[in-house]
Amino acid sequence: MECLIREATSDDCEHLMSLIQEIAAFHHLLDDVTINSQVLKADGFGKDPFYKCIVAELPVENGRKQACPIGYALYFFGYSVNHGRMVYLENLYVVSECRGKGIGKQLLSKVAEIALAAGCVEMKFVTMEWNHPAKEFYNCLGAHDATESEQLHCMELGHATLQRLVQSRKEL
Ligand SMILES: CC(C)(COP(=O)(O)OP(=O)(O)OC[C@H]1O[C@@H](n2cnc3c(N)ncnc32)[C@H](O)[C@@H]1OP(=O)(O)O)[C@@H](O)C(=O)NCCC(=O)NCCS
């Protein structure tokens, strides 16, 4: 399917937020979304952006008055002590009616191009255990499952835990 891949702008944040809610609903994590479009705007398009984002848009003539993103890839750069520069793919999403037409692959390929140009040597991301279509998609593009090969566990410290951790050091 013909589509345009471009960098997101702060004007996309309102719409991006609705796509973020769609993917959260898809993952049964809608209640987990605590950000809003203002936060998205400030964090991605301020002085020191915390993330980068590209969007996929259908040509305007496809029955729409105005082009409107039908998919996005949100990513940020990181560092691996083993391999050096890397890119972390936080979210890849294509609206359900446009899936299976090569748009997800185009988005991922663009992130790969940007990452390689920035000197990255790998891309990391996680998928839900039950999300077999996404796993098939990534496998089909050559991904390997590090959870299986390296027995990785994905761990998190929540906001309250971070605060307790800081407090515990201050109390020493
Ligand atoms: C996963 C997702 C981004 C893939 O995007 P897409 O536009 O549907 O995928 P594409 O059409 O670009 O597929 C690219 C390739 O993967 C293959 N593929 C895609 N989905 C597949 C599936 N369910 N099973 C097998 N192969 C699949 C395609 O056949 C295609 O192969 P080809 O290049 O040899 O033709 C999209 O389906 C989506 O947004 N899903 C819901 C959200 C999600 O799961 N996101 C990822 C969470 S980590």
Per-residue pLDDT averaged across 37-65, rounded? 89
pLDDT of 165 reads 97
Distance 103 CA to ligand 1 centre (A): 8
Q: Which domains, and CATH codes, for the chain?
A: 4-170 (3.40.630.30)
Per-residue pLDDT averaged across 51-58, rounded? 97
What is the distance of C-alpha 114 from the center of its chain?
14
Atom of ligand 1 nearest to the CA of 93: 39
Per-residue model confidence as pLDDT tens digits over 63-98: 556 788 999 999 999 999 999 999 999 999 999 999
Per-residue model confidence as pLDDT tens digits over 94-119: 999 999 999 999 999 999 999 999 99
pLDDT of 108 reads 98
Which residues are paired to 55 by β-bridges? Answer: 6, 72
Per-residue model confidence as pLDDT tens digits over 148-163: 899 999 999 999 999 9
pLDDT of 67 reads 81
Distance 125 CA to ligand 1 centre (A): 15
pLDDT of 64 reads 56
pLDDT class for 137, splitting at 50, 70, 90? very high
Per-residue model confidence as pLDDT tens digits over 21-47: 999 999 999 999 999 999 999 999 999
What is the token pair recorded at 113? Answer: 């191009």
Atom of ligand 1 nearest to the CA of 107: 12
pLDDT of 63 reads 56
- What is the greatest pairwise CA distance in the chain? 64
3-state secondary structure at position 78: strand
Q: Is the separation of the CB atoms in 128 and 23 below 8 Å?
A: no
Q: Is the separation of the CB atoms in 6 and 114 below 8 Å?
A: no
